[in-house]
Chain A
């Protein structure tokens, strides 16, 4: 079982399919599809590359992994970065949420690593022959998500295989995340079908969050009517397997599965399987996240390499093995969708097609297509070979869930096919191929354009890479057998071969000119093993593309009437950088200061300006793992842009800190350009400037002292004069203590310092305040003295000074007595700075003592406490 593939090709090229029926080609008119012909941005030479962005913690998660006496589980990890190694920490979570971090793996550039889960469990002292399951997390520190991975659970005794892809763990679910993930109602939609009556099913739910999640699994018939419900609670980081015991007795042969839960987005991983161990039948059940904001737009998806008729003898299946294709669709949205299938196959080296009538899929309806009848309609009733079904879908984007493949007459050989979105992209990677231990790998590539395209199939393996040119005519399909490529030992354009000793690796399909060349293709890959009767491959592929953008130099500097060349660089996930300077629109936010044309920046007058670049046509975006279940099965493209601040002549780009307290010295760092010894600073009549020190041409330090008066408050323009030139102005904000913000109010315990005795009536509290400025923002300074007038008497110091962060605690506040009382006290607070004071707050307290040990205090707004 597993992923579908086409017919093996002997020695090469295009498949020549034997067709034993009269050929019927499509007659329906269709729009001509052109291949992309965009200019290709040049690669940045190694010595001119920009430093990578900062590394950050990231994770992908996937599940389940499953082991028992028969099931073996392995995690396959590909480093999608082709020029840097990446270090990954695999973490296994058991079904009860127990966490086991495995030793770090260092994966070479473009390399692949395999984690044997059974062996890992044994090394942890856990019996891998016991029935265990859970999910896995792969952690790394890298500027972007550098890996693609999948889990392969195989029971060779019963010829069953289940493959699980991974998804990026949302930032708020990462270990040590500071923000609490938002909880919302979530829904995941799946599909079940029975290949034969004994097929049973299961759904696995893995909770990647730190809190339990209550979930509901509803099984529905083909019309979307629910006939079974399973309610479960999945513990934090736990995994639950729900047996769909209702399936064998179900009167229908296909339907839907919906998983609902309240929790963070993507916190629950849902997967499932359909199986009949007695027949060696197994198939994967995929789940699609319900579309939050449905967008209706057309989408084309293709099921590649479906097999029909007698198996190709080259594939070494038992004599008489005959395949029947299947295809099911489920509309997971609340709106109807129209799906128009077109069959594509090869004859005598050219592509043939037949368009079938459109199908309307009502909301939540599941429909099995009668593929043999579709073939018969196309005149392919007795066809032996492989073909594709292209679906033009009009409905909610990405809402059609598909399941397809080919099954032999014993239901043992199941070759699943993943629907692939059709769209323009850059290169795309697939995480694994294998030719060892009886495995072989088939790669099917389809050119959906009405003109020829040239590609390179690049095989990565330990110690090298190999590029195979692939020319595909208009709408042509080609299936490549990796074992044959290796056996051929034909050197590629760079003289490389794949050594015969190599049995696994990963691959990428690129345009023939460069990885950032835009191309239009669909591809699928299948790893099969006839002896073990298993077939499978990762469902998801990597869309290679842009991970970060930069305009350099950043910041830039240019003299008045001078010019400097800026470059716009895009960094790909593979680690390569491309120069899009000539393929971008450039602009300046202040053409009175600087103008720009194709990156060439001219200084017009003194000051600062920001120069921006944006690509003129869309470029591929990096998506680590994309598949039809992701809801957006087509590699995305974006109009990337970046900008760089800079200076013309003497200029200021920043002041830090950009604010200071009235009446107090603030040492500031002025960053900018073209500062020279003897520079002076102008800050206006209310700010005294002293201790000016020109540290470098880009940095000055100075002490600013605003006059101690409320008139000094607010924003003041500051400029630097150096070498006879005066810079642009930058703002320095003078803070005036204006209000107090209550941070906390706490009761002083009986008998504690400042508190009442346990037998006293009344209450004593402590109030933690933050001094705020006029914006209001916190003032961080210990130069402030909180003072008070109590019932008009004062001022008296509340505490000697504020803390360095501008907070202070006013305690005790309140009254203790030996009798019942109610009193009112007015506390007017001011903040003194040197010889001046600024009113910040008035508290009109009402304090009561109601009985021994009891009392209350309130100011009627933000301070209230009861004892």
Chain B
């Protein structure tokens, strides 16, 4: 019975998959590429439109990649602030987030806790708190899209 169910699901999904436009955004390594690029740009003081465009579609799936970079680079004040900017860009427009599941900031809140725990700078802590509130508020009550 289970085998039949799996086959049925596979058959139903196959035609849909054939007719769809696949992009690199479907690649599991995509968030890593985007976050790394964005992290480097932001840390050097730039905000390119392309990083903004793709980060905004990642939502919560950006957080694990940011976490990897922070762990690798050390959670300095500068890196913490860069991470906060990347998080802000990832949740810039909740409607743009590609997958519904990534609108829930579960990983992002863990990342924020991690950053909070590893900083003693009051200013950074304040920014972390405010980002936490903002992410929670945006994702539980997303603002309507323009014109709606």
Give chain A's interface residues, CB within 8 Å of chain B.
Answer: 753-754, 764, 785, 787-788, 790, 793-797, 811-819, 821, 823, 825, 827, 832-835, 837
Contacts and interface: CB of A to CB of B under 8 A. Distances in A.
Contacts of A787: 21, 23
Contact of B22 (A790, A811, A835): A835
14 contacts: A787-B23, A793-B24, A793-B37, A794-B23, A795-B23, A796-B23, A796-B54, A813-B49, A815-B47, A815-B49, A821-B45, A834-B18, A835-B21, A835-B22
A856 to B, nearest CB: 15
Given A793-B37, A796-B53, A835-B18, A815 B46 contact: yes
Given A764-B49, A813-B49, A821-B46, A834 B21 contact: yes
B93 to A, nearest CB: 9
Contacts of B37: 793
Interface string B1-31: 0000000000000000011111111000000
Contacts of B146: 753
Nearest to B41: A815
Contacts of A796: 23-25, 53-54
8 shortest interchain CB distances as A-B pairs: A812-B49, A832-B21, A790-B50, A815-B48, A817-B46, A816-B47, A785-B21, A819-B45
Nearest to B54: A796
Interface string B50-78: 10111000000000000000000000000
A817 B47 contact: yes
A797 B21 contact: yes
Nearest to A833: B21
B148 to A, nearest CB: 15
B129 interface: no
B68 to A, nearest CB: 18
Interface of B: 18-25, 33-34, 37, 45-50, 52-54, 146
A787 B25 CA distance: 11
B99 to A, nearest CB: 14
A782 to B, nearest CB: 13
A456 B87 CA distance: 96
A797 B20 contact: no
Interface of B is mostly: helix
Contact of A835 (B20, B33, B46, B53): B20
A347 to B, nearest CB: 91
Nearest to A764: B49
B49 A834 contact: no
Contact of A797 (B19, B25, B34): B25
Nearest to A836: B21
A57 B19 CA distance: 51
B102 to A, nearest CB: 15
Contacts of A790: 50
A685 B54 CA distance: 40
B98 to A, nearest CB: 9
A817 B45 contact: yes
B48 A825 contact: yes
A792 to B, nearest CB: 10
Given A825-B50, A834-B19, A835-B18, A794 B24 contact: yes
A834 B20 contact: yes
Given A787-B21, A797-B23, 11 more contacts: A753-B146, A794-B24, A797-B21, A812-B49, A813-B49, A816-B46, A819-B45, A823-B48, A827-B50, A832-B21, A835-B20
Contacts of B19: 834-835
A812 B93 CA distance: 14
Nearest to B42: A817
Contacts of B25: 796-797
Contact of A793 (B22, B33, B45): B33
A814 B45 contact: no
B45 A818 contact: yes
A1 B15 CA distance: 90
A749 to B, nearest CB: 15
Chain B CB within 10 Å, residue with most, of A819, A821, A827, A835: A835
A812 B46 contact: no
Contacts of A814: 48-49
